Structure 1
Amino acid sequence: MDVRTAQKLVMENKHAKGFNVTDVPLEVCLLQGEIAEFFTAWRTSEGDAAEELADVALYVLGLAGILNIDLAEQMEQKISKNAARVYERGANGVMYKTTPEQTSAEH
């Protein structure tokens, strides 16, 4: 399933079931809860980590829908932007970006 279709289906389900479609802070809090459930399932091997991760993705799609963000488009742009970045490993082993971000004037 593609991202746009999934986002549309998530929003249709939210409307059909009477779930939140306006309160962004609430949706962020619910998303945090789903992330915690995924982490607990993964860390303890109790529960279904894959299902919990799917819940995280569905909440992200719903949040994008509430905010009228075309998440597929934003993901495509971000993947392209990340691919163009150059990273180096610092002395402490941490990766850091070595290419400067483009400013809006450069676009």
Structure 2
Amino acid sequence: MICYLVLDLIDQQQGDPNDDIDVVHDSGLSLEELQEINCFYLKGQVNYSICAICLDGFVDAELCRSFPACNHMFHAQCIDPWLAKKPTCPTCRTPFRPRFSFLK
């Protein structure tokens, strides 16, 4: 019985393992920050085969964004809603905002 109570207490302190864990709890990007991310139309050969969000391929003349810190590329229509909720790259979790941006 004591073991059960101890394990239950540990489980409560650790939280739900299915929760989305973020080291820094931060809101998504503002419209101004989103506009800072490079947005472009694809031309010719593409080094990336698919968008990691929708898993569709990239085609010529498609509007895309390239994440500045890691250069991962996504369809603009896929990455914009993501960044409105989470300020990180969905592929590698690189933060858009520097960790110590409050020191500026």
Structure whose CA Rg is larger: 2
TM-score by length of 1: 0.24
Q: Which has the higher strand share?
A: 2
Q: Normalized against structure 2, the TM-score is what?
A: 0.24
